[in-house]
């Protein structure tokens, strides 16, 4: 299990249409990493890019739409990384593998024993629903405003927050916000929702008002039914609360 301390971060760049044994190479790499017990890996599909061949891959050109780069990234112990690298070298014949020293600050949580008893805790009561409407391009001290708001709410102990990205919308100014072929992420509408007790929502509203220059805040009364699944253990500890 990956613990706190020194580790290695591996980043692999391959093309989406590269094959290995009649299957996508990125799928084969993910399957191999899982089979070798790597703690976790993430594959993301890039919007555009170019590599050693100097050809720009972009979805705007139909013939290149299936040739986009895929980025695979994982973090594990130096020993585990050294074990999987030789096979990765052999698998990635046309691509890039990058290895960096890193430090794990918060380790992965150990798996809970599947044999432990599962129970549900149910609570119900009055609450308030807070909705914030803003633009995706709005900034707060150099970072996206919606990310800054979520960080602020988390630091305030708010139970949970969810950010939704819109496809189309317009606001009080009558400007239509939508994605275009040349600008796929041009100031799309964003909605952030929070549910908590009245006192915390009042504090959250005040904090968000200080950060929001152009947007809309909506408050609604709500009746919350909350289900929390917990797993009993021999030491009497409770499971983590997953709020959303």
Domain ranges of the chain: 5-104, 118-231
CATH for the stretch 5-104: 3.30.70.120
Rounded distance, CA 215 to CA 209, Å?
9
Q: What would the two tokens of residue 188 be?
A: 């799309």
Q: What are phi and psi of 63, to 5 degrees?
A: -70, -20
Same fold, 5-104 and 118-231: yes
pLDDT on residue 239: 41
pLDDT on residue 182: 43
pLDDT on residue 33: 94
Rounded distance, CA 144 to CA 149, Å?
9
Beta bridge partners of 125: 224
- Is 199:158 a contact under the CB 8 Å cutoff? no
pLDDT on residue 92: 92
**Biggest CA-to-CA distance, the chain:** 61
Q: Is 113 helix (H, G, I), strand (E, B) or coil?
A: coil
pLDDT tens for the chain, 244 residues: list them: 678 889 999 999 888 888 888 888 999 999 999 999 998 899 887 766 555 555 554 544 444 445 678 889 999 999 999 999 999 999 998 888 999 999 988 776 655 454 454 566 677 788 899 999 988 888 999 999 999 999 999 999 988 899 988 866 555 444 444 444 444 455 688 899 999 999 999 999 999 999 998 889 999 998 877 766 655 544 444 444 444 4
Classify residue 39 as exposed, middle or buried by CB count within 10 Å of its CB (0-12, 13-18, 19+).
middle
Q: What would the two tokens of residue 200 be?
A: 């915390």
Class of domain 118-231: alpha beta
Q: What is the pTM of this model?
A: 0.45
């Amino acid at each position: 299990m990956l613990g706190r301390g020194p580790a290695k971060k591996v980043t692999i760049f391959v093309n989406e249409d590269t094959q290995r044994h009649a299957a996508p190479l990125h799928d084969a790499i993910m399957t191999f990493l899982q089979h070798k017990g790597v703690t976790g890996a993430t594959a993301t599909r890039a919007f555009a890019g170019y590599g050693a061949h100097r050809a720009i891959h972009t979805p705007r050109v139909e013939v290149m739409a299936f040739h986009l780069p895929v980025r695979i990234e994982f973090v594990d112990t130096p020993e585990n990384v050294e074990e999987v690298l030789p096979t990765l070298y052999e698998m990635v014949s046309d691509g890039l593998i990058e290895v960096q020293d890193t430090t794990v600050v918060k380790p992965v949580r150990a798996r809970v024993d599947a044999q432990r008893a599962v129970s549900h805790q149910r609570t119900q009561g009055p609450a308030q629903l807070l909705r914030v409407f803003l633009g995706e391009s709005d900034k707060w001290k150099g970072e996206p405003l919606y990310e800054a708001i979520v960080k602020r709410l988390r630091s305030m102990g708010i139970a949970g927050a969810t950010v939704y990205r819109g496809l189309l919308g317009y606001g009080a100014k009558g400007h239509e916000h939508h994605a275009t072929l040349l600008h796929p992420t041009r100031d799309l509408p964003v909605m952030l929702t929070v549910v908590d007790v009245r006192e915390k929502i009042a504090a959250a509203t005040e904090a968000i008002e200080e950060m929001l220059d152009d947007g809309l805040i909506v408050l609604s009364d709500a009746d919350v039914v909350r289900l929390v699944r917990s797993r009993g253990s021999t030491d009497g500890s409770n499971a983590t609360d997953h709020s959303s």
